[in-house]
Amino acid sequence: MTNLVLMPILIPFFGAIFLMLLPRKVMVQRVLAVITSAVLIGANIFLVYYVYQNGILVVTLGNWPAPYGISIVGDMLAILLVSTTSLVLLATLIYSFYTIGKPRERFLYYPAVLFMIVGVNGSFLTGDIFNLFVFFEVMLMASYVLLVLGGTKVQLKATVKYLLINVIGSAFLVMAIALMYSMVGTLNMADISQKISEIHGGNTGMITVVAVLFLFVFGLKAGIFPLYFWLPGSYFAPPIPVLALFGALLTKVGVYAIIRVYTLFFYNETSFALPLLSTLALITIMLGVIGAISYNDMKTIMIYNILIAVGVILFSVSLMTREAMTGAIFYLIHDMLIKGTLFLVIGTIIAITGFSSIKKFSGLMSVKPSLGWTFFIGALGLAGIPPLSGFIGKLLIVEGAFSVQNYVGGIVVLLSSLFVLLSMIKIFSKGFWGEKKGTFKLDIPYRKMMVPVLMLLAISVAYGIFSEGMYPLIEKAVDPLVDPSIYIQAVLGE
């Protein structure tokens, strides 16, 4: 049964390989891509149940014992994240049928999406720090293809920037891994955790250096201050389905990597690394707020809201308490769902109006009221209005901050909700209400486009309303984060 933990990696991998054999058969590619994502959801649901009942799943490839073999570790956090990823994937694939265009579909769009999911899921599941780098590269190579597919001038310019930044990030990641290996002599993450805890004396300073280096690398991918400068321009360029995948998943892989390495390796770095993470996270929230309320472009507003969420989650992680960590994980899953939903809603608005800027149109409520209310519910969820899922996550984060007397951070997180709501209400009030302005294209397949949107929105709303049912799963996900010995025991059997 332990081999089942490989399914979230193998299913999209073999799906992508098979689709590459059928590059011109668009309808076949669509059907097979959806079947692959549906099978992936089924496998992930079973894994959630199995891990909840039986504990962490570990498989070591090649039958080598840990820490010598490459470990794939399915703890509850990783399984919940790959499950959320598969839901966003299915919705985005269905949405792509009506929006991405056949020229892109013929140039291996669906295989590129599935290869990106291989990298995302592999990053969540790997128990080996070097293979985290490998899966990052798989994810990034697929994202380069998706970013440049279509070949518009804006896309090419954004791809060059995105490529350069990630090449630099990858080089620094290899440096960080090499430094870590020189100190502990292992790449297995559970073994690293165990050996770091035994280091005393002069080498503790080097551990802080490595902690900061990992924060730089993963912070670059997550979009934390001051490393977020590339994100608004690069994420603005691709078509909406690709932007939904990037916004919902890619930055969250960077966030997850910080959560994993800081809770396993650097939980004792309370003198410098963790305070640095907390400070940068709060600055990220504030700069995200400034960007979100300053712009009139819907895509740009949402991209800056990605930064706010990244800051909120990482601030909570820096507190290293059970309550704050529970809030961080709850909010992380919520944000993946709601960002995917809202980017698809914005894509539908752009398809109807022809514009991304709310200065170019208004009065959309008079022709598509269902779209308006869908956006409104999503906006309330993003801002954290009860009883939606954003409220529960932020409540736990604020309580966690106040419990350790970090009142400034708690207040910043609270105020961020107000500004997130303000930025979204600006879109709602200017774009949907008022006098009808602009030419609306009503011959789009609106109902078909709304099916995946409403599916994701319903899951997000249910996640908030039935949060008590999810709470045992979140608690189980948090256990290895606040007590690394659980993770170590599962992997090394010690």
Sequence-separated (6 or more) residues with CB below 8 Å from residue 223: 231, 251, 254, 284, 306, 307, 310
The per-residue pLDDT for range 379-403, each reduced to its tens digit, is: 999 888 888 888 888 888 999 899 8
Q: How far is the C-alpha of 417 from the C-alpha of 338, rounded, in Å?
A: 14
The radius of gyration of the chain from alpha carbons, rounded to an integer in Å, stands at: 22
Count of Cβ atoms closer than 10 Å to residue 424 Cβ: 24
Residues of the chain scoring pLDDT < 50: none
Displacement of CA 390 from its chain's centroid (Å): 15
Cα dist from 319 to 254, 274, 280, whole Å: 18, 8, 13
Which segments of 140-203 are extended strands (E)? none
pLDDT of residue 296: 87
Per the structure, the count of domains in the chain is: 1
Helix and strand totals (H; E) in the chain = 21, 2
pLDDT of residue 65: 74
pLDDT of residue 182: 86
pLDDT of residue 281: 93
β-bridge partners, 126: 72
Count of Cβ atoms closer than 10 Å to residue 41 Cβ: 17
Domain range for 224 is 2-492
Q: How far apart are the first and last CA of the chain?
A: 21
pLDDT of residue 494: 56
pLDDT of residue 200: 60
pLDDT of residue 146: 87
What's the chain's average pLDDT? 88
